[in-house]
Structure formats: C-alpha cells, structure tokens
C-alpha cells in the first residue's frame, strides 16, 4: 500500500504512520535498524528497490531523503509504503524542495527508530567526508559507492584520504566472491608463496583497484594492474607460483574459469553482483570493517609505490577476405586468315584430232 502526502509536515507524516500501524496491526519491534538513503530525484526508485530487497534479510525502516529542485520555496512531499510495496520493511520517502533540501538531517529525526542502529547510504554522489556530514554523524555505518562517481578511481582515492572507522563502499562488496575464490585456491596444496600477481580490469573499475590493493597488502609481492577496455569491469587475476600460476579469468562478465596446476579446469558462475546483494552484505555487520580500512588507507599506497600499470593489448581482428572480382574476359573474334587458293596446274591437254581413217 502506498499513501501520498503532498506538501505536508513531519508531524502529519508521523501521525499517519501511527494510524496505519494501528489499523494494520504492524508493530516496529521487528525492525532491527534504520536505513537512511540520501539521493537525488533521478536514481531514487532504483535505490529504494535495492533497499526493499535487502530488507528481506534485514528488516528495517527505510527513510529515503530525496533532494529535489533547490529553487523556490520550502516544500515537503512525503510518501509512505507498507506491505508488498515495501518488502519486509516500511518505507518513508521524503522529497525535499527549496532550501529544505540541504537540511535532510532535521527532517529524518522524527522517523528514527528508538534504540536501533542507523546506517546511511549514498547510492550516487556522496559528501567529501561522509563521517562529517550531518546525516553521516548520526550513523554507525556509512555506505558509499565509488563506481557511481564520474571518476571512480579518483573518488576511491578521496575516500582513502578521508576514511573514518565505519566507512565502507559497495565497490569493496562487489569483489567478495573474487577474494573468497582466490583465498580458497591458495589454501590448497602446493603451499607456495606467490611471487607476482597480475590483476586485469577496466580503468574505471574501482573494484579492480581495491582487489589489486588487497593482494598487494596480503601477499607482499609485486602486483601489475592491467587496464582492459572501459566498461569491462573485473576481468581476471593471475597469481604466479614456482609450480605454476593460479588463474581466475572472467572474460564475459558472467562465467569465470579457475585454472590451477595439477587440477582440472573449473567453471564458476561469477556474474556481477547487484546493488541489493552488496547492500545486504554490508548490513550484516554494524562494526567497522577493519580489512577494508587497511586496504583503502594502506593497500592503495603500496600499490602505487610497488606496483606497475600496463595496458592490455588490443585484440587483433582478422581482416575479412574480400573475394576478387572476376573481370569478364573480352570476346575476341579471331580473324580468319585468308585461304590462298593454290594455283591450278596448267595441264596442256593434248588435243587429239580424230583422223578420219579411210578404208581402201
């Protein structure tokens, strides 16, 4: 069920929520946290859908602070979603217009669940320092997404310079399966040290940089970052060992191939993770992610100092053989050589004159 409250106040919205809860018999005791989504008007619905799907694993109250047009007068348009339109949560959409769009923290306070942790999520552009943002200061966990920035790698570097305990990024959650597969492969014999690593991915893939930084920090070996075409995402990892390499390659973005010396080749379903899956993973823990903190603050620096960057060679496409055009042969009319008639041989026919023989 969806209830629209145009041009309203926070008090009217809070009363409406209480009335709907009493009428429907739903209580807030099953909500384990408050998830605040801070976004612009465009991608708001997509982020709310991802939060609804994640709430089936983590029942919570979702408060979407949607910043609208900042020109004009202050206005608050609210929308309450419960039941099938809200997953396993209750969704409160607050659309802020005018100068009110810059004061979302004061608008969400009346809707926070008492004695429940708060998680803030910026699915698009985020503040320069999320921990110092008014909404970020009231949250235990702050989730950003560097992949949605105009320059994901630069955004990741800014996160590294301004990291605070409790910060995390969905670019880190997208490589959880990659890290698990590589760690499991190294746990199998032969237990040899990795001498060199090669990580291939698009230049605009923040997840590829994080994976390369994680390998640099964990393995203490030279790591080469290979750049593949833009938009290809994570492509592959090669870990070189004395007995042979460990290769995990995903050329098509869906199915990966794991190759190890002395073992059969394995094909693994490794599709790109959706935002709802990454968000559900981040909501499983409310304490700081220490591994992510070390990777983003120390691993990226080690990668920049000790690593190297290369560009994947372009694939050579064989030139199409164009069949040669057949030139029709010119019909040449052979000139008939004149046949010389042999001169007739002059035969002198002997003219015999019949002599009349006289009989005596």
Q: DSSP readout, 252-308?
A: SSSEEEEE-TTS--EEEE-PPPPHHHHHHHHTT--S--HHHHHIIIIIHHHHHHH-E
- The SS3 call for residue 10 is helix
Quote the CA–CA distance of 157 and 170 in Å, as a whole number.
15
Nearest partner of 82 among 65, 59, 105, 104, judged by Cα: 59
64 CB-side CA count, 13 A: 29
Q: What is the predicted pLDDT for the residue at 337?
A: 47
3-state helix, strand, coil in the chain (%, to 5): 35, 20, 45
Is the Cβ–Cβ distance between 236 and 251 less than 8 Å? yes
Q: Is the dihedral of CA 188, 193, 195, 199 positive or negative?
A: positive
In this structure, what token pair is assigned to residue 50?
Answer: 């991802």
Per-residue pLDDT of the chain (360 residues; tens, 9 = 90+): 889 999 999 999 999 988 887 776 655 556 889 999 999 988 899 999 999 999 989 899 999 999 998 888 999 999 999 887 777 778 999 999 999 999 999 999 999 998 899 999 999 989 999 999 999 999 999 999 999 998 998 999 999 999 999 999 999 999 999 999 999 999 988 889 999 999 999 999 999 999 999 999 999 999 999 999 999 999 999 999 999 999 999 999 899 999 998 889 999 999 999 999 999 999 998 999 999 999 999 999 999 998 888 887 766 555 555 555 555 555 544 444 454 444 444 433 344 443 333 333
């Amino acid at each position: 069920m969806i209830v629209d409250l145009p041009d309203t106040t926070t008090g009217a919205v809070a009363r409406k929520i209480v009335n709907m809860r009493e009428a429907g018999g739903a209580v807030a005791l099953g909500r384990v946290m408050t998830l605040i989504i801070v976004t612009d008007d465009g991608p708001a619905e997509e982020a709310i859908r991802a939060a609804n799907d994640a709430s089936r694993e983590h029942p919570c109250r979702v408060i979407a602070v949607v910043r609208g047009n900042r020109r004009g007068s202050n206005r608050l348009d609210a929308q309450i979603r419960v039941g099938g339109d809200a997953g396993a949560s209750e969704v409160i959409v607050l659309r802020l217009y005018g100068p009110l769009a810059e004061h979302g923290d004061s608008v969400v306070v009346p809707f926070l669940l008492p004695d429940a942790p708060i998680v803030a999520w910026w699915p698009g552009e985020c503040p320069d320092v999320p921990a110092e943002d008014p909404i970020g200061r009231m949250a235990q966990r702050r989730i950003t997404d560097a992949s949605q920035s105009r320059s994901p790698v630069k955004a990741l570097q800014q996160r590294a310079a301004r990291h605070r305990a409790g910060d995390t990024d969905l670019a880190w959650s997208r490589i959880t399966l990659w890290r698990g597969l590589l760690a499991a492969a190294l746990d199998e014999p032969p237990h040899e040290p990795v001498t060199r690593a090669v990580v291939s991915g698009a230049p605009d893939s923040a997840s590829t940089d994080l994976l390369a930084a994680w390998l640099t920090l964990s393995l203490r070996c030279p790591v080469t970052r290979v750049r593949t075409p833009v938009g290809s995402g994570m492509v592959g990892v090669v870990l070189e060992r004395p007995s042979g390499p460990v290769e995990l390659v995903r050329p098509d973005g869906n199915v990966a191939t794991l190759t190890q010396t002395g073992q059969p080749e394995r094909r693994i379903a490794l599709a790109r993770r959706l935002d709802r899956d990454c968000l559900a993973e981040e909501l499983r823990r409310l304490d700081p992610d220490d591994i992510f903190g070390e990777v983003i603050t120390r691993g990226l620096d080690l990668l920049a100092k000790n690593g190297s960057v290369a560009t994947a060679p372009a694939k050579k496409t064989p030139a199409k053989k164009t069949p040669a055009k057949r030139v029709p042969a010119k019909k040449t009319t052979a000139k008939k050589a004149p046949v010389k008639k042999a001169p007739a041989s002059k035969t002198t026919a002997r003219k015999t004159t019949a002599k009349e023989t006289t009989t005596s």
